[in-house]
Structure 1
Amino acid sequence: MNRQQLADAHRGVRLLTGHLRGEGESLDSAISAGRYSEAEAEAMADPLVNVAIILARQLRAALDVEIGVALQRARALTKPELSEYSRLASALIATVISGEHPEPIEVGPRVVAVGAQEIAAGAAKALADHLGEHPNAVVARLRRQLQEQGEGVQLSDKDGVELQSAKYAEDSEMRQSRLDTALALVKEINNGAAVPIHNRGVDLHERNEIVGRDCYEGLSRIAVTAAALGYGVVQLVGVNNHYPAYALLRQLVETEFVLWKFGHDPSTIPGWLNSDRDERERTWKPSKIYRNADNDYRQKDYSGHCEMGGHPTPLGTLIASGERSAVAEASVLGDLIGHLRDSWGHIVSTADALDSKWIQSEPCVSIDARQRVADAHAKWSRIDKYGYSVSYFADPL
């Protein structure tokens, strides 16, 4: 489960809670208030599908049955008039659990959202019946489990994931798409962001705006570092040297931490740029950043990167030996794309904040550069199914 899927699952829990209690945020309240537009349905579909998947897997484990039987048990507790909706959602859920990339559903998000809500509610009720408790207690426990991110709240079965991921990893079109996208993002972070951000700092320096210069210069230096690390990962993958590629990827994660902090408070950038080692140890270490209560990262995400390529580990030595090289390549490039994409977002939002503060008439990161990144990412998302099959935060299963 990646970060977005986790956020969706948390919202799915809120929506399901509202449905079961008949109050609060829910699909039902949106429909009754006349707010159930296509956009609203799309925003609710993934959260409800995710929570339905998790509860279906938990029901399967509790009953010790196959997933098809668990889904039948959940469907038996759904509304008869919505049986076609729940049937479609059930098929989608089974596909995702198997680790396979689901094909687009032609009926659209309205039907998917309603069907997923029915399956989620049915699975919660079936679990409650089996455990002798109230469905609300099942959902409340799920909220706590999402914080821990154990096996019980993943979206796909590991065996199925490994089977599908191997197939997707070796697909020639998907392999090329990963490489092309990673290179496109590296190029835009360097040429479309780091260079113009640096140039804007130079302009401010010439006007004796030293603090402004430091803000842009600090952001530019971290951006160019992210681009250099990203390109290094691609070069190492190109010669099938995946273990050090993971080590560089961990370094990229550290630059992403700093970029997040810049975006969260751009006034900290001059302090970083002019810091000494002691100051960076106190303020800028990854462990300091990922423990901030309001950040987007978790220690598990960072330690996972250390496990793959930061420290000598049994898993790391397998990667170093070249075992399952196609999977290692797909994993490191897919992970790289995700971190470059997130880094780009932090860079752009921080640059925009600086442009606003220093009253710049034009954004230093151009609209064209932003569109190229969006287009490259959208094309990759359409082609590559590997990332979907192994998604577990930023780390491969």
Structure 2
Amino acid sequence: MHDSFTSSPAQSRRDLVMSLGLGLVVFGAEARSLTADGNLTGDQVRRLLLAGLVGAIGGELVASVTYLAAGRWAYASAALVRQLVEIEYLAWAVTNDPDDAWEWFKSDKRIRLQRWQPGKIRQRSEGRFPNKDYHDHCEIGGHPVPEPAMSVLGHRDKWVEVTLYETALHGAATWHYLLRALEGIDPISEVERHYQLVDRAYEVWQRTETMDKGLRSENDE
């Protein structure tokens, strides 16, 4: 892994996204495996199940963006970032109110439509997640919209960097929410090791990043 003295912005994005993908996958597996520990309370088991599932899903999305970006599959990468934004919402919900988030874990389709659609979570977040950010991701990678799709497919290199930036942004937020969700539970050794790698990559990324607005700046052109 590069440091802030040798990393370019593009390299620091890739380093962080790779670290986040592996870190979240390990987090998900380790958190869920700990639920078999008979010394945990019911509340701790629920938090581990919730955080572990959200982490596992998020990790696969982030890791997949890494591979797609390496092949310059810009549109497919953007579609996964839109999914990652929804994972960030769930990671916040798990941290903010685990008892409420347990409803999502046990929900059927009717409950998910009533309370767990992305817009419903944004409403409960009281402005933490702007509508425009989510709608921009839907335009770029959520639905087949002609003009954005032509822009992405016609300028692959530029959009790959935007996608990596957005993955770093939303992936890091997801990671930090999930770590907070496990406060008060004994540290998970594997996660602790990956935390150091992610923390270092995140610090370098913050120091070297030059793309201040990411998707929003590209949409405003």
After superposition, residues 275-314 of structure 1 pair within 5 angstroms as: 275-292=107-124, 294-314=126-146
Structure with greater Cα Rg: 1
Task: Give yes or no for the alignment of 1:363 onto 2:187.
Answer: yes
Structure 1 residue runs without a partner (length 5+) = 1-171
Task: Give yes or no for the alignment of 1:351 onto 2:182.
Answer: yes
* 1:102-158 CA distance string (max 9 Å, x none): xxxxxxxxxxxxxxxxxxxxxxxxxxxxxxxxxxxxxxxxxxxxxxxxxxxxxxxxx
- Could you tell me how far apart the structure 1 residues matched to 2:197 and 2:146 are? 39
**Secondary structure, aligned partner of 1:291:** helix
After superposition, residues 124-135 of structure 1 pair within 5 angstroms as: none
* 1:27-75 CA distance string (max 9 Å, x none): xxxxxxxxxxxxxxxxxxxxxxxxxxxxxxxxxxxxxxxxxxxxxxxxx
- Could you tell me how far apart the structure 2 residues matched to 1:302 and 1:217 are? 26
Could you tell me the TM-score, scaled by structure 2's length? 0.85
Give the corresponding residue for 2:60.
228
Structure 2 residue runs without a partner (length 5+) = 1-6
**Secondary structure, aligned partner of 1:217:** helix
- Could you tell me how far apart the structure 1 residues matched to 2:42 and 2:173 are? 28
Task: Give yes or no for the alignment of 1:174 onto 2:9.
Answer: yes
Give the corresponding residue for 1:379.
204
Give the corresponding residue for 1:202.
36
Give the corresponding residue for 1:334.
165
- Could you tell me how far apart the structure 1 residues matched to 2:40 and 2:159 are? 49
- Distance verdict in 2 for CA 1:295–1:371, change over 3 Å: farther
After superposition, residues 306-325 of structure 1 pair within 5 angstroms as: 306-321=138-153, 323-325=154-156
Shift, 1:264, TM fit: 0.9
**Secondary structure, aligned partner of 1:201:** helix
Q: Is the 8 A contact 2:166 2:215 kept in 1?
A: no
The structure showing larger relative contact order (alpha-carbon pairs under 8 Å, at least 6 residues apart) is 2
- Could you tell me how far apart the structure 2 residues matched to 1:228 and 1:320 are? 23
Q: Tell me how many residue pairs correspond in the alignment.
A: 213
- Distance verdict in 2 for CA 1:380–1:251, change over 3 Å: same
**Secondary structure, aligned partner of 2:204:** helix
Q: Is the 8 A contact 1:305 1:395 kept in 2?
A: no
Shift, 1:282, TM fit: 1.1
Give the corresponding residue for 1:254.
86
Q: Is the 8 A contact 1:304 1:395 kept in 2?
A: no
* 1:257-294 CA distance string (max 9 Å, x none): 11111111011233222111111111111010112253
For residue 187 of structure 2, what is the amino acid of its counterpart? P
Quote the sequence identity (%): 23
Q: Is the 8 A contact 2:162 2:214 kept in 1?
A: no
Q: Is the 8 A contact 1:223 1:347 kept in 2?
A: yes
Could you tell me the TM-score, scaled by structure 1's length? 0.49
Shift, 1:247, TM fit: 0.9
- Could you tell me how far apart the structure 2 residues matched to 1:313 and 1:247 are? 12
**Secondary structure, aligned partner of 1:304:** helix
For residue 214 of structure 1, what is the amino acid of its counterpart? R
- Could you tell me how far apart the structure 1 residues matched to 2:18 and 2:128 are? 25
- Could you tell me how far apart the structure 1 residues matched to 2:103 and 2:125 are? 21
Shift, 1:394, TM fit: 9.2
Q: Is the 8 A contact 2:136 2:216 kept in 1?
A: no
After superposition, residues 84-123 of structure 1 pair within 5 angstroms as: none
Q: Is the 8 A contact 1:218 1:270 kept in 2?
A: yes
For residue 199 of structure 1, what is the amino acid of its counterpart? S
Give the corresponding residue for 2:3.
none
For residue 188 of structure 1, what is the amino acid of its counterpart? G
- Distance verdict in 2 for CA 1:375–1:344, change over 3 Å: same
Shift, 1:213, TM fit: 2.4
